[in-house]
């Protein structure tokens, strides 16, 4: 049985580098891992009024989290923070009150930017919130990719060997982390 990991991309943009980064992680995933990029753009804005009768999209999202063994969060950087679409998904995952679907789930955060700081600010804000919702978050290695437009192609292709090595090393650490938390 493959280890089922879900990936959330914090960008809804058609040609998103963040989504291309997730595809690069999919292409480089170990053979015993199934990394599924899941839909979060269909979730309504968080609104407690909707909690009495949860929308189908939210129920389906909760089910995806429940079925997964771990979660990979990928974020772009918006004004030195992570994206609202990702925050919205994290918030829905933590609701209704008393039903935190993230609780004790192994997780990791990665980020990229076409500019020089590689979404460092975004990933660090993201990790702070991941800690609060009790996602068991991989600490090392960190993953920030700058100049993403130069390195990430279509269908998970990575043109830069150093970036590919970083992705491979990240996978080793992440899968080891998931295994360790099973013991």
Ligand X SMILES: Cc1cc2nc3c(=O)[nH]c(=O)nc-3n(C[C@H](O)[C@H](O)[C@H](O)COP(=O)(O)O)c2cc1C
Question: C-beta of 120: minimal distance to ligand X in Å?
Answer: 9
Q: What is the full DSSP assignment across 46-64? A: P-GGGGGG--HHHHHHHHH
CB 44 within 8 A of CB 57: yes
Q: Residue 90: helix, strand or coil by DSSP?
A: helix
Of residues 33 and 119, the one with the C-beta less far from ligand X: 119
Tell me if 17 contacts ligand X by CB under 6 A. Answer: yes
Kindly indicate which of the ranges 12-20, 41-49, 53-61, 97-105 contains the residues binding ligand X, using the contact rule CB under 6 A. 12-20
The CA-based angle 59-63-69, given to 5 degrees, is: 150
Can you tell me which of 29, 77, 130, 152 binds ligand X, judged by CB under 6 A?
Answer: 77
Of residues 30 and 153, the one with the C-beta less far from ligand X: 153
Partners of 9 in the β-ladder: 74
Tell me if 150 contacts ligand X by CB under 6 A. Answer: no
Nearest to 89, CA basis, from 121, 67, 57, 119: 57
Question: C-beta of 161: minimal distance to ligand X in Å?
Answer: 22
Size of the site for ligand X (CB under 6 A): 14
Tell me if 76 contacts ligand X by CB under 6 A. Answer: yes
Site string for ligand X, 32-51 (x = CB under 6 A): --------------------
For 36, the enclosing helix (H) or strand (E) is: strand 33-37
Kindly indicate which of the ranges 16-24, 26-34, 46-54, 59-67 contains the residues binding ligand X, using the contact rule CB under 6 A. 16-24
CB 103 within 8 A of CB 58: no
């Amino acid at each position: 049985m493959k280890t089922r990991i879900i990936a959330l991309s914090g960008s809804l943009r058609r040609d998103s580098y963040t989504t291309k980064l997730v595809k690069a992680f999919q292409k480089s995933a170990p053979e015993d891992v199934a990394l599924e990029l899941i839909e979060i753009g269909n979730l309504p804005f968080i609104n407690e009024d909707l909690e009495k009768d949860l929308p189908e999209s939210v129920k389906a999202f909760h089910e995806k989290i429940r079925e997964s063994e771990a979660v990979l969060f990928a974020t772009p950087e918006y004004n030195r923070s992570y994206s609202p679409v990702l925050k919205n998904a994290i918030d829905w995952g933590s609701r209704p009150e008393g039903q935190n679907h993230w609780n004790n789930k192994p997780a990791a955060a990665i980020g990229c930017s076409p500019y020089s700081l590689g979404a460092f600010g975004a990933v660090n804000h993201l990790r702070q919130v991941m800690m609060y919702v009790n996602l068991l978050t991989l600490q090392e290695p960190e993953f920030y990719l700058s100049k993403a437009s130069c390195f990430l192609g279509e269908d998970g292709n990575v043109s830069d060997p150093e970036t590919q090595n970083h992705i491979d090393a990240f996978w080793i650490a992440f899968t080891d982390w998931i295994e360790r938390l099973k013991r």
